[in-house]
Amino acid sequence: MIRCELEITLPFGVHLEPATELIGYIKRSESNVSVIIGDKEVSITGITDVLKLKLHSKKWVIFKVTGPDEDKVMQDIKRCIQKERSQNR
């Protein structure tokens, strides 16, 4: 199991596009992913799970990944929520 506290650095937070990307990584993996905010832990299995969390820019959350490919999944999560996106798409 890997736990990592991460800051959401996307300028507009985790909206539909990055949430879709994040779920793609999770669905291709063999690991279970959950997000911990305060005393609440939410298992992430679909896009609505991500969007309901309202992961705004500058928010700190804990991602917990458990499974055989947990290292790769955590790296994918970090890359997804901590990158700058082009605003001119």
Nearest alpha carbon to residue 10 among 79, 68, 88 = 79
Beta carbons of 87 and 61 less than 8 angstroms apart: no
Of the pLDDT bands very low, low, confident and very high (cuts 50, 70, 90), residue 88 is very low
Q: What is the pLDDT of residues 3-18, one digit of tens each?
A: 999 999 999 999 999 9
What proportions of the chain, in percent to the nearest 5, are helix, strand and coil? 35, 25, 40
Q: What is the pTM of this model?
A: 0.87
Structural domains in the chain?
Answer: 1-6+29-83 (3.30.1340.10)
